[in-house]
Structure 1
Amino acid sequence: MTNYIKIVEERISGLSKGVDETVDSWFLMSSPMPVVAVVLVYLAFVLKIGPEYMKNRKPMDLKRIMVFYNAFQVLYSIWMCRTSIQESNVMASIFSKKCEINRTREQNLTLYSGAWFYFFSKIIDLLDTTFFVLRKKDNQVSFLHVYHHTITVLFSWGYLKYAPGEQGVIIGILNSGVHIIMYFYYMVAAMGPQYQKYLWWKKYMTSIQLIQFVLILGYMLTVGAKGCNMPKTLTFFFVGNTVIFLYLFGNFYRKTYKKAKSVDGGSRTTGSSLAQSALRAAGGMGCMPQTMNAGKHLLQNGQVGKAYIDLNNNSVKPMKLE
């Protein structure tokens, strides 16, 4: 028994040593245990504890918090994009014959620092699901959403800890660019129904995500074909995970928009079905509007008003009289 305990301790000690001792001293990077604990608490809350707590309670009004949170995410993503492009010299990596960039240890630490900020952004992203639960948007807590957030936290940690390579820089830049667009949408949506007219482009966010995965896959295959001097295991994992994301997001897009198009083609009722599906798309901060007849809503005084979708209170409301 003592021998088994010793073996386990040695394995854990081995996992605690990463690619650089300076990285090992950073927040959440000392060993796998802290980040695994964060992910387990996240899963327990969004799948069990949170829904049980909110079961007999009204949805929380988080409008101001969500506007601030999404504005912060936009600025954070812009900063990461700009810093990564400036510090990584990524274009030289892409077009060199062996995709190599020779760096000093100090330059590598600068690169690792950027990877840590990217990893920590994935920790912050877990609040997306937390807000869904507290606002009782249980339909948004899908397998795709939870899997995506969980795997990106674990992988970005493992990437920085054990095998940071040039491949991750490209992925970080592309992903941060997509997040600028995505969280800007969520920020505007959280500001209130009066801004709904500016949100017609939501369905294109899923397309942008799919394009991102295609670009990542193409880049990884190029890295493999050129025989780049990069961690091959990392390349294979990137390819496999990107294929999974392509399938999940592609299936989501097909079910959401193709079905909505089919429904809209069979019935010319004013776009409430399209609005409903659009708000589901891309795991957004929207709501599931009630079925409406020709986009109309009956007011208390018997008059008919045009409907708008209240993104903050999970309902469809009259905006103005006919």
Structure 2
Amino acid sequence: MAQVIQEYLQRWDQFVDKHKDPRVDDWLLMDSVWPGTFLVLVYLFIVWVGPKLMEKRQPFQLREVLMAYNFAMVLLSLYMVIDFGRGGWLNGYTYGCQLVDYSNSPQAMTMLNVCWWFYFSKFIEMWDTFFFILRKKKAQISFLHVFHHAIMPFTWWIGVRFVGGGFGTFHAFLNSFIHFLMYIYYGLAAIGPHMHKYLWWKKYMTKMQLIQFTLVMLHCSQLLFIECPYPKVFVWIIASYGFIFFVLFLHFYIAAYLKKGKPTMLYGNGDSKVEHNGDGRHGSKTDSNSNGYHKLD
């Protein structure tokens, strides 16, 4: 068994050496997949042991921390939106068969750099889970939540290591914009109850999520009908994510806004209990120590 594993690892190293993008050789966490893998394993260990350690402790009150965290993520998300645009999506990219520019031109390096930041942000976002643990919101640490945070660093390490730019970054451009809006929502909600009157647009956030995933699937599907040498494996990974999250958010939207009288729990990196009246308006029960709803993407 050990020999089989060793041979597999050798083949992986050979594959990486043959196909890797040398421009990121010296970048943080890019030389090998193993440092990022170690961080994911640490994350999973904390998810496993954290609730046990907090079991007999009082939950932490983290309003100021959550405010700072969420508004820092607003700035990071805005930066990524701008540079995904400058790197190509608002600066010459075609929305068809857009190949990766592996040159060292300023525009190509802008795109590669923001791809790395998008990858690195997936480790920062693991703090969403840690806040759940510290505030003893164990029920919000679902399998889907943990799976999402654990798998994204792997898929995006591969993306930056091999295809840092081009067709496959369209979903990251959209996702960064959605995160920009969502973290504004979370930050405002964390401030306190007096901000709730400004959060009427929560329902439209879910609609924007659904539009985002629809656009991602449509964008990916075109490669079924046109000739394009962009690696298809990355297209299938992105399209699969888009489909899975579209179904999940559609289920949430139906439960939260279309089923009359059905109370809905909405999760952010705080906690929120909002009863809906079936028409999208908030009912009378609201926990103000919230950062909004469950972020799946």
Q: TM-score, normalised by structure 1?
A: 0.77
Aligned to 2:258: 258
3-state SS of paired residue (2:209)? helix
CA 1:52–1:207: 2 relative to 1, 3 Å: same
CA offset digits 1:197-248 (Å, max 9, x no partner): 2122223322221111001111111243232331111112211221112122
Q: Which residue of 2 aligns with 1:288?
A: 273
Q: Match of 1:263, SS?
A: coil
Compared with structure 1, are the counterparts of its residues 253 and 284 closer, same or farther at alpha carbon in structure 2 (3 Å cutoff)?
farther
Q: Name the amino acid aligned to 2:128.
A: D
Report the Cα distance in structure 2 between the residues aligned to 1:142 and 1:186, rounded to whole angstroms: 19
- In structure 2, the residue matched to 1:311 is 288
Deviation at 1:5, TM superposition (A): 7.0
Q: 1:224 to 1:24 in 2, by over 3 A?
A: farther
Considering only CA atoms, is the larger Rg found in Structure 1 or Structure 2? Answer: 1
Give distance in 2, aligned partners of 1:15 and 1:51: 39
Cα RMSD after superposing both structures: 2.9
The answer to whether structure 1 residue 166 and structure 2 residue 151 are counterparts is no
Say if 1:61 and 1:312, in contact at 8 Å, map to a contact too: no
Q: For 2:79 and 2:134, how far apart are their aligned partners in 1?
A: 29
Deviations 1:98-125 (A, max 9, x none): 4357663345443221110110111111
Instruction: State the secondary structure of the residue aligned to 1:93.
Output: coil
Match of 1:238?
238
> Does the Cα contact within 8 Å between 1:90 and 1:169 map onto a contact in 2?
no
Letter of the 2:288 counterpart: L
Q: Which amino acid aligns with 2:261?
A: V
Q: Does 1:80 align with 2:83?
A: no
Unaligned runs of 5+ in 1: 265-272, 291-305, 315-322
Alignment of 1:3-22 (within 5 A): 4=4, 7-8=7-8, 10-14=10-14, 17=17, 19-22=20-23
What stretches of structure 2 of length at least 5 have no aligned partner?
A: 276-282, 292-297
For 1:104, give the aligned amino acid.
S
1:29 Cα shift?
A: 1.3
Residue pairs, 1:1-322, within 5 angstroms: 4=4, 7-8=7-8, 10-14=10-14, 17=17, 19-46=20-47, 48-89=48-89, 92-94=92-94, 98-100=97-99, 104-107=103-106, 108-259=108-259, 262-263=260-261, 273=263, 277=264, 280-281=265-266, 283=268, 285-288=270-273, 309-312=286-289
Give the whole-Å Cα distance in 1 for the aligned partners of 2:145 and 2:165: 27
Of 181-190 and 161-170, more deviation after overlay is shown by 161-170
Give the whole-Å Cα distance in 2 for the aligned partners of 1:3 and 1:74: 47
Q: Which amino acid aligns with 2:38?
A: A
- Distance in 1 between the 2:15 and 2:64 partners? 41
Q: Which amino acid aligns with 2:221?
A: L
Deviation at 1:22, TM superposition (A): 3.3
- Aligned-partner residue type, residue 150 of structure 1: A
Q: Deviations over 1:80-139 (max 9, x none)?
A: 11111112255633256x435766334544322111011011111111111111111222
Equivalent position amino acid for 1:71 in 2:
F
**1:263 counterpart letter in structure 2:** G
> Which amino acid in the other structure matches residue 38 of structure 1?
L
Distance 1:199 1:181 in 2: 11
State the identity %.
35
Q: How far apart in 2 are the matches of 1:8 and 1:147? A: 24
Q: Secondary structure of the residue that 1:27 maps to in structure 2?
A: coil
Cα 1:284–1:69, aligned 2, differ >3 Å: closer, same or farther? Answer: closer
